[in-house]
């Protein structure tokens, strides 16, 4: 059995850290090129009425499918609200390698 070099160990650890420990980062860096929250925030700020209509339609659809109304309302609100928490919105946030 061959003993791996230190460079091979570092390369493996870097791969493990980027892919296995943070699969979301691995995925968004390949699909969309920036965090999906930033893409959704751009959409939400540029099309607020459409976002409200989508949320309303989703709420009606879930209401007819799910019996435990209060639970899904809480999590749907949490999911939509997190788009507006945190850093101030900037159009195109995260583009051009600035993360």
Q: Which residue has the tokens 């609100």?
A: 77
Give me the pLDDT at residue 67, please.
66
pTM: 0.54
For the chain, domain boundaries:
32-97
Mean pLDDT of 2-7: 80
Chain segment 28-56, per-residue pLDDT in tens:
878 888 888 788 888 888 888 888 888 88
Alpha helices in the chain (DSSP H): 6-15, 23-30, 36-46, 48-65, 69-81
**Do the Cβ atoms of 76 and 62 come closer than 8 Å?**
yes
Chain segment 73-83, per-residue pLDDT in tens:
777 777 777 77
- Cα separation, 77 vs 60, whole angstroms: 14
């Amino acid at each position: 059995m061959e003993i791996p070099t230190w460079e091979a160990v570092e390369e493996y650890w870097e791969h493990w850290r980027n892919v296995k420990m943070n699969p979301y980062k691995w995925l968004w860096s390949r699909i969309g090129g920036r965090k999906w929250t930033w893409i959704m925030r751009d959409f939400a700020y540029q099309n607020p009425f459409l976002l409200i209509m989508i949320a309303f339609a989703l709420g009606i659809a879930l209401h007819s499918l799910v019996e435990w109304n209060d639970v899904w309302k809480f999590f749907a609100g949490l999911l939509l609200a997190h788009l507006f928490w945190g850093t101030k919105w900037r159009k195109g946030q995260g583009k051009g390698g600035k993360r």
